[in-house]
Amino acid sequence: MPRATLCTPHEHRITRRRFLGTTGAVGVSALANPLVAEELKKQKRQVLFVWLDGGMSQLESWDPKPNTPFGGPFRPIQTTVPGIQISELLPQCAKQMKHLALVRSVSTQDNSHSAGVDRINRGDPKNRGVVYPYFGSAVAKLVGAGESGLPPYIWVKPMSGGFIYKDAGFLGPKFGALALGDGKPPENLLRPKDLTTEEDEERNDLRKLLDKNYSADRRAELTEANSYAYEMAAQLQKRIELFDLSKLPQKDQDRYGSHDLGRHMLLARRLLEAGVTFVKVTSYGWDTHGDHFNGAASLHPKFDRPFAAMIEDLADRGMLDNVLVIACAEFGRTPRINGHIGRDHWPEAWSVCMAGRGIRKGVVAGKTNDRGTEVATEPVDIGGLFHTWFRALGIDPSETQYRNGGQPLPIAHEDMKPVKDVLA
């Protein structure tokens, strides 16, 4: 028998007052109520998760510290929100600050890439003896694929692609990420020209029969991911035009940029427009231990243009109310400048940018001290950000649980709380 990974409906109740509460957050367990289920079905909930691998410097982006020993050579500039300044390296984002929310008080623990990447992506729950899912896999499970029929979790990245099952943790490989290497469709996606549609359907019918027989006495996880991959491939075959960015207006291509991150962000917009639930876009090369300031002068504008263009386009299309946008990394960079004119790893005090669904517009939560060396307000760990993101999506972590076999598991660290100052 398939094992449930979420609480069954009868295990929770929801009152009218809770449903109409000020947070508007409704857990998956609330689907026991038909009215709530219908309301959730009408809601379109998507996520764009921009991962700046290696660690973007908060001092050259969201939290500049001018005229200080560690501030660096770049100036702060005014944004569209009076009183909020960001680095001059992000002039396009400054124009979009009216849509953005910054958390400048992020303080995490791991200063190594190997530990930090997993910790941030999994939300650092308490050790339960299981591997927790990445945020993308969690959203794919809790929100679902929607009506698009496309994979719920797509990862657009440089270099190689493939199906990344490990992201799903204990949820099972079905909820892994479909990685599009260099933004291209999966290899061998299209049916060979010498294979007719009828022959392809016959082969799939035979595969389904064999899968059914094989899975009869085995755990569902052993076969469902394989079957799911075929189903998703069939849907992608029907939407192959999504990958052809050359047909988009040249103005769009120019606004996003011809570099990897620009092209991949433009593809991400297409995927969101097509209804993909969770789109992750990764940019590499942010680990600037040496020659940091020249590196920042090159890297930050490549982020600034497509990120700002994305925010502008989602707002213009009326999608920003439905799409939660997050720009994040595994940590920030040290205030102190090392002997190689670089900034090293710094999880102690850094920033995360958000926008869109469930997020207040044009606000800053938390702050660091005058030199940027530590958080001066209540620090926010990644568990608190997971609470914030889930609530922005209408999922209440206090009401929603995973189930790993018979074991109930919280979806976010139960000792932490959301950043209420950025929640709408």
pLDDT of residue 13: 39
Cα–Cα distance, 122 to 349 (Å, whole number): 19
pLDDT of residue 39: 56
Out of 32-46, 54-68, 283-297, 312-326, pick the least confident: 32-46
- Asked whether residue 17 carries a pLDDT value surpassing 70, the answer given is no
- Asked whether residue 51 carries a pLDDT value surpassing 90, the answer given is yes
Percentage of the residues of the chain whose pLDDT score is greater than 70: 82
pLDDT of residue 1: 39
Out of 140-154, 155-169, 197-211, pick the least confident: 197-211
Q: How far is CA 127 from CA 8, 81, 132, 297, 412, in A?
A: 24, 41, 9, 40, 12
pLDDT of residue 358: 98
Q: Using 50, 70 and 90 to split pLDDT, how confident is the model at 180?
A: very high
- Asked whether residue 36 carries a pLDDT value surpassing 70, the answer given is no
Whether the Cβ atoms of residue 172 and residue 133 lie closer than 8 Å to each other: no
Alpha-carbon Rg for the chain, nearest whole angstrom, is 22
Please, what is the average pLDDT of the chain? Answer: 87
- What is the arithmetic mean of pLDDT over 354-365? 98
Tell me the whole-structure pTM to 2 decimals. 0.86
How far is C-alpha 153 from the chain's CA centre? 9
pLDDT of residue 209: 74
Q: Please report the DSSP string for 42-78 in residue order.
A: H---EEEEEEETT---STTTTS--TTSTTS-SPPEEE
Residues contacting residue 208 through CB under 8 Å, at least 6 positions apart: 227
- Asked whether residue 375 carries a pLDDT value surpassing 90, the answer given is yes
Out of 163-167, 264-268, 304-308, pick the least confident: 163-167
Percentage of the residues of the chain whose pLDDT score is greater than 90: 71
pLDDT of residue 32: 43
Which of the two residues, 74 and 35, has the higher pLDDT score?
74
Domains of the chain: 44-187+239-422 (3.40.720.10)
User: 352 is written with which tokens?
Assistant: 């995360």
What are the b/e assignments for 165-196, b being 16+ CB within 10 Å? bebbbbbbbbbbbbbbbebebbeeeeeeeeee
- What is the arithmetic mean of pLDDT over 369-396? 98
The H or E element that residue 410 is part of is: strand 407-410
